[in-house]
Structure 1
Amino acid sequence: MLPEALLVSAPGKVILHGEHAVVHGKVALAEALNLRTFLRIKPHQDGKVRLSLPNIGAKRDWDVSKLQLLQTAFLDSGEPTAPTPEHMEKLKVFAGFTTDSSDSERLAVLAFLYLYLFICRKQRPLPSMDIMVWSELPTGAGLGSSAAYSVCLAAALLASCEEITGRLKEGVTSAGWTEEELNLINRWAFLGEKVIHGNPSGVDNSVSTWGGALRFQGGNISSLQRIPELRILLTNTKVPRSTKALVARVKDRLVKFPEIMNPLLASIDAISRECERVLGMMAVTPAPEQYVVLEELIDMNQHHLNAIGVGHASLDRLCQLTASHGLHSKLTGAGGGGCGFTLLRPGLEQSVVESAKQALTGCGFECWETTIGAPGISLHSPSSLKADVLRALNGL
C-alpha cells in the first residue's frame, strides 16, 4: 500500500458524430472532454474507509473489519468478469441505504464498494483510506460522468495497491500510464460501469481512460493517433431524456421505414468517416478551410439526427441561437434534450462567444467554454491542479 496521498483525474466525453448509428454497426467518433473528475485518495491506519462525494451530497464511512467480513462472504474467485446479482444484493444489504438516498448516491457507493473489495483483495488487512471525489461534469447529461468516476476509482485503487505506478518522477507534475496499465485501469473501470449501468457499451470508460479521440464500430475501439485540440461551447439544455427510449425509437423507425432509415444511417457513417479524415489532415497541415468542412458536417449530421427521430425543440433552439451568431451546433449523445456542442473556430472574437453564451443561458441552458481532445486518466501533483479543485478535494 502506498504510504502517501495521491491525486488523479479523468475526462468526460463528447460524441462528435455517429451517435445512434453506431448501434447499427456504423462508425462513431468520440473525444475526451476537458471537463474532468478529480479524486484524492489518502491512506491511513485508523481502521476506517471514508467516501465523500460532494457533487451529490453523499458521505459514507465503513469499518475495515466489517468490509473484511463482506469480502470473505463473496470474493471466492479471481478477477470478476461482471458483477453478479448475488454480489449486488450483498452490497446493497451491506450499504444499508435509507429512503433518503438518491439513485446517484446508491450507484456511486455500490460501484466504489465493488471496486474497492475486488481491487484490494490481495491486501491483508484491507487498507484504511479517505477518498474524496469532485467533478466539473454534470451528472446525467450524457457527458460520461459515471465513467470518469469509475476510471478515477480504478486508477486510484490500483495505484494505492501498487498494481500500477503510483508515484510521479521527481520534477514531474502530471503523468499518464503505460498501455498495459491503461488496459488494466479500463478493464476495472468497465466493471464499475457495469455496476452503475448494467450493460454499458464501453465507449465512455475507454474515452475517459485513453483520452484524445476514439473510433468505435461493431464493438471495436481504436485511437485516432494524431488529432487537433478543438475549442467548443458545450451546452446542457437540462431537458431529461431516456437513452433506452431514444434507441428504441430509432430501431422502430428502422423497422417501419427501412428504405428511408438505412440511407440516413449510411450517410451518418459517411459523415463520421469524413470527419475522421479531416481531423487527420488538421493534425498534420492545419488550414482554415478545414473548419468550414467540420461546420458543414455538424450541420448535416444534426439534420440527420432530427430525421431519425432523436431531436428535440430545446436542441433546435440551441442550434438556431448559435446559428444567429454564425456558429454551428449539433446534439451530442442520446439526443431528445441533454447536451449539444458548438464548434469555436480559431480567431473567433470572444465577444461573439460571450453573446452566444448569454443568449443560451437566457433560455435556461447551462454553458461551458472548453476543449475536446483532452488527456485521459492522469496522475497529478497538488501543484498541477487549479486552486478551486484543490479546495474542493480538501473539503473547503
Structure 2
Amino acid sequence: MSTMAGRELFVSAPGKVILHGEHAVVHGKVALAAGLNLRTFLRLKPNKNNSTVLINLPNIGTKLNWNISDLQALVPSFQDSLHSEAVGPSSEQLDILKTLAGVSNGSRDTESLAVLAFLYLYLSICGQELPSLEIVVWSRLPTGAGLGSSAAYSVCLSAALLTASGKLAYPEQENIDTTRWTQTELTLINRWAFGGEKVIHGNPSGVDNAVATWGGALRYQAGQITPIERVPVLQILLTNTRVPRSTKALVAGVKDKLLKYPNILEPLLASINAISEECQRVLQVGVDGLSKDHYSVLEELIDINQHHLNVFGVGHPSLDRLCQVTASHGLHSKLTGAGGGGCAVTLLRPDIEAAVVDTVKHQLSECGYQCWETSIGAPGVSLHSSSSLPEDAITSLNGA
C-alpha cells in the first residue's frame, strides 16, 4: 500500500458501441467497436478503520462491506490467479465467492454479478495484504443495453485495485487533470478486467473490456482484437429504445436464416464485412479531420448496413420508427449490438444545427426512448484529479 500513501483515486472508463459488423462477426467477419463517451466513474479511498472493505454501487442501490479478517482466510484460494496466464475464476473460486456474498447458484441479477466480480478482483489482485478500502462506482451507462457497462465496471475496478495494491505505479504528474497508463500497464489492466468479465458473462469475447481499456476504436475478427490507430472522434446520438431483447435468440435466428438461405444471405455477410473494412479505411484517412465526402460515405454505410440487418431479421418496429424520425431531419441511424430493440447510433455531422439535434432528441423522447448526445472514439481507462471530473460524477461518487 506504500504507493497509495493514503490517497484517493478517481478512475473512469468508456462504454462501447458496435459501429459495424454485429451478427456478421459471429460468422467470422470483421466488426468495428468504438469507445462510447458515456463513462463509468470510480472513487477509491483508503478506509480509516483498517478492518473493512466496502463497495457502493449507487446506480443499483447496493452497498456492502466485509471484515478483512474474514476475507484474509480466503486469500490462499485466489493466489493462483496472480500467476496464471488464463485469468478467470475457477468453478471452486466461484463457489467460494457465492458463499461469501450469499448469492444462490442460479442467480444472474446485476447486483449479484457485480458483487462477485468485485470480490474476485479484490482477492486475486490484492493478495497477501488485503487493503482496507471504500470503493464507489457510478455510471452514466444503462445496464443490460449492450453498451459494455459491465466491462467499464471491471476495467475501473482492475485499474484502481492494481494501483492501490502497488502493482501499477501511481502516475507522477500531480498537476495533470487526466492521465493514462502505459501500454504495458493497460495490457495488465485489460487482462484482469477480462477476468472480471468472465465472472459476469462466463465466456465473453474480450471486445468490451479491450474498448474500455484502450478506447478509440478496434477491429475484431475470429477472436483477434486489433486496436485501430488514431481514430477521429465522431459526434453521435445514442438512443435506447428500451425494448428488451434476447441476444441469444437473435443470434440463433440469424444462424437459422443462413442455413435456410445460404446463397441469398452469405453475400450479405460478405457485404457487411466490406462495410466494416470501408468504414475503417475512412476513419484512418480522416484522422486529422473528416471531410464532407467522408461523412457522406459514413452515412451511406450506416444506411446500407441497417437494411442488411433488417434482412437478417434483427430489426424491430421501435428501430424502424427511430430511423424514420432521424431520417426526416436528414440524419442516418442504425442499430448497434444485437438488435431486436436495444440501442441505435445516429451520426451527427459537424455542421448540423443544435436546434435540429434538440428537435430530434425531443421527438425520440416522445417515442418513449432514452437519448444521449455523446461521442464515439472516446479515450480508454483514465486516472483523474477530483477537479477534472464532471459535476454529476463528483456528486454521485461523494454523495453515495
**TM-score normalised by the chain length of structure 2:** 0.95
In structure 1, C-alpha distance between the alignment counterparts of 2:81 and 2:366, rounded to whole Å: 55
2:364 corresponds in structure 1 to 360
1:345 corresponds in structure 2 to 349
In structure 1, C-alpha distance between the alignment counterparts of 2:375 and 2:156, rounded to whole Å: 20
2:14 corresponds in structure 1 to 11
In structure 2, C-alpha distance between the alignment counterparts of 1:385 and 1:356, rounded to whole Å: 28
1:195 corresponds in structure 2 to 199
1:384 corresponds in structure 2 to 388
1:128 partnered with 2:132: yes
Shift of residue 102, structure 1, vs aligned partner: 7.7
Shift of residue 70, structure 1, vs aligned partner: 2.2
Amino acid at match of 2:28: G
**Alignment identity in percent?**
64
2:269 corresponds in structure 1 to 265
Distance 1:271 1:95, change over 3 A: same
1:43 corresponds in structure 2 to 46
Deviations 1:178-197 (A, max 9, x none): 11100000000000000000
1:107–1:196: 8 Å Cα contact kept in structure 2?
Answer: yes
In structure 2, C-alpha distance between the alignment counterparts of 1:357 and 1:168, rounded to whole Å: 42
- 5+ unaligned residues in a row in structure 2: which ranges? none
1:6–1:166: 8 Å Cα contact kept in structure 2?
Answer: no
2:256 corresponds in structure 1 to 252
Deviations 1:88-145 (A, max 9, x none): 111111111489x981000000000000000011x42x11100000001000111000
1:235 partnered with 2:245: no
1:13–1:33: 8 Å Cα contact kept in structure 2?
Answer: yes
Amino acid at match of 1:87: Q
1:334 partnered with 2:338: yes
In structure 2, C-alpha distance between the alignment counterparts of 1:77 and 1:311, rounded to whole Å: 41
In structure 1, C-alpha distance between the alignment counterparts of 2:123 and 2:289, rounded to whole Å: 49
Q: Which moved more, 1:354-363 or 1:285-294?
A: 285-294
In structure 2, C-alpha distance between the alignment counterparts of 1:31 and 1:76, rounded to whole Å: 33
1:91 corresponds in structure 2 to 97
In structure 1, C-alpha distance between the alignment counterparts of 2:82 and 2:397, rounded to whole Å: 33
1:55 corresponds in structure 2 to 59
Shift of residue 78, structure 1, vs aligned partner: 4.3
Match of 2:189 among 161, 185, 188: 185
Match of 1:281 among 279, 282, 285: 285
Deviations 1:249-304 (A, max 9, x none): 11111111111121010000000001111111211463111111110000000000
Paired residue secondary structure (1:340): strand
1:24 partnered with 2:27: yes
1:68 corresponds in structure 2 to 72
Deviations 1:145-181 (A, max 9, x none): 0000000000000010111122441321111011110
Distance 1:9 1:78, change over 3 A: closer
- 5+ unaligned residues in a row in structure 1: which ranges? none
**TM-score normalised by the chain length of structure 1:** 0.96
Distance 1:115 1:320, change over 3 A: same
Amino acid at match of 2:96: K
1:141–1:236: 8 Å Cα contact kept in structure 2?
Answer: yes
Deviations 1:332-385 (A, max 9, x none): 011111000100001101111111111100010000000111100000111111
In structure 1, C-alpha distance between the alignment counterparts of 2:254 and 2:235, rounded to whole Å: 30
In structure 2, C-alpha distance between the alignment counterparts of 1:73 and 1:213, rounded to whole Å: 37
1:205 corresponds in structure 2 to 209
Paired residue secondary structure (2:213): helix
2:56–2:136: 8 Å Cα contact kept in structure 1?
Answer: yes
In structure 1, C-alpha distance between the alignment counterparts of 2:270 and 2:76, rounded to whole Å: 51
In structure 1, C-alpha distance between the alignment counterparts of 2:104 and 2:95, rounded to whole Å: 15
In structure 2, C-alpha distance between the alignment counterparts of 1:98 and 1:183, rounded to whole Å: 33
